[in-house]
Amino acid sequence: MMRVSLSAGLAAGLVACLLGYAAQAQVSGNVIKIGVLTDLAGSLTENTGQGSIAAAQLAVEDFGGAINGIPIELVTADHQNKVDVGTTTAQQWYDAGVDMIVDLPNSGVALAVQKVAAEKNRIAMVSSAAASSITGKACTATTVHWTYNTTALARVTGGALAETGLKSWFFITADYAFGHLLEKETAAVVTANGGTSVGSVRFPTNNGDFSPVLMQAQVSGAQVLAVSSAGADTTATISQASEFGILQSSQKLAVLLLALNEVHALGLEMTQGISLADAYYWDTNDATRAFATRFAAKRNGAKPNMYQAGVAGAVTHYLKTIKAVGTDQTEAVMAKMRETPVNDFMTTDGALRPDGRVVRDMGLYQVKTPAESTGPWDYYKLIKVVPAEQVFGTLAESECPLVKK
């Protein structure tokens, strides 16, 4: 029998090739395909949109565009803030081999897409929508709610204001899932702190004229006028509240969700003193600043907000998992993501719970005055860090049917 002797280098190379082939064999279609389903033209486009796509690209670049020789491909689409468009796009993407969909601003769209993901046994990583029901009664085994939720906003922002002794609240609420849940959960926090909700008014998304809404809020006599909306609707509310003189009155305008880019657009004269909850602020430490520098290079100098940072964080955690398990098989990936601590440029020792909720510390910030700011994008000062369990509650509080009580 003839024996063939291999050099150590050749043997090592052969092993590497075989391992690479084995990894490829376990990745469907020999490509890791990620879909960024976002808002490219609606009320949330400035918060997400092209910025979310850029953030996903940065995460892919960190892996050199491939894992074990298997290419990573990004596909993108506009869900137009329409449930039917989001649902159809998700169905088509998953059928075409998309492994994971990320971003998903608009809670109605996110809730619909996560159902499709469950039906197709694919993964949805909701990084921009906020409805707590995503990992509550509507939870699925293939959904990750990544960045924040309405519970966090209610407890961090609403809780901070309620604790100051402001007792009577009136809600200015966007008439869709996110707005309704944010109002409900914030009102519960207010009540727990001895306050009360004296009423609310609802408005359709992409609302142009807030004068009737603001007049109703003013005449309520409430100490706090709480804005329960997102994106362009929020900035329009703040701008028109300034025109109405509300910002200069004894009534306090509480903005329950405000993004960094919105502060930039409105200016510090109008937003100074506003308290807000945020999972990421670019000028926190070296890691947050390094990501912001790379993002700004893609986005004409703009700094990332928490939605966009959340996209990068979610894609990074997903790709780390693919690299670790060597497959895109849904059950294996979900299991590994749950057991792996979330440690990245925006989070330390975060965790993915069985209900799909990522729990992390969040910051309570206050918008600086013009005198306090050193220049563009230097807008926030940290008031306190709120621990994850206080932000999101315990797993025992979860309404997710997948969680055993």
Residues of the domain holding 53: 30-148+284-355
- Shared-domain flag, residues 47 and 136: yes
CA 274 from centroid of its chain's CA atoms: 20
Cβ count within 10 A of residue 49: 22
Region 336-355 average pLDDT: 97
- Shared-domain flag, residues 69 and 197: no
- Shared-domain flag, residues 234 and 378: yes
The phi, psi pair for 387, rounded to 5°, reads: -60, 150
Quick check: is 20 in a domain? Answer: no
Quick check: is 22 in a domain? Answer: no
- Shared-domain flag, residues 254 and 295: no
Quick check: is 307 in a domain? Answer: yes
CA 346/CA 343 separation, integer angstroms: 8
- Shared-domain flag, residues 133 and 54: yes
Per-residue model confidence (pLDDT) at position 57: 98
- Shared-domain flag, residues 368 and 261: yes
- Shared-domain flag, residues 115 and 158: no
- Shared-domain flag, residues 200 and 326: no
Share of the chain above pLDDT 70, in %: 94
Quick check: is 7 in a domain? Answer: no
* Interacting residues of 41 by C-beta distance below 8 A, sequence separation 6+: 78, 80
What is the band of 99 on the pLDDT scale with cuts at 50, 70, 90? Answer: very high
- Shared-domain flag, residues 108 and 126: yes
Per-residue model confidence (pLDDT) at position 206: 83
Domain count, the chain: 2
- Shared-domain flag, residues 184 and 124: no
Quick check: is 6 in a domain? Answer: no
- Shared-domain flag, residues 241 and 94: no
User: Whole-prediction pTM value?
Assistant: 0.92
- Shared-domain flag, residues 142 and 59: yes
Rounded to 10°, the helix 49-62/306-325 angle is: 30
Longest dimension (CA), the chain: 98
Quick check: is 8 in a domain? Answer: no
Instruction: Say what the alpha-carbon torsion angle 368, 371, 373, 374 is, to the nearest 10 degrees.
Output: -170
- Looking only at the bridges linking them, the beta strands covering 362-367 and 275-278 are antiparallel
Region 94-117 average pLDDT: 98
- Low-confidence winner among 22-36, 147-161, 197-211, 252-266 (lowest mean pLDDT): 22-36
CA 34 from centroid of its chain's CA atoms: 17
3-state secondary structure 274-341: CEEEECCCCCCCHHHHHHHHHHHHHCCCCCCCHHHHHHHHHHHHHHHHHHHHCCCCHHHHHHHHHHCC
Region 274-303 average pLDDT: 97
CA 140/CA 222 separation, integer angstroms: 39
Rounded to 10°, the helix 83-95/107-120 angle is: 30
Region 161-181 average pLDDT: 94
Closest C-alpha among 397, 396, 342 to residue 127? 342
Task: Give me the CATH number covering residue 197.
Answer: 3.40.50.2300
Quick check: is 393 in a domain? Answer: no
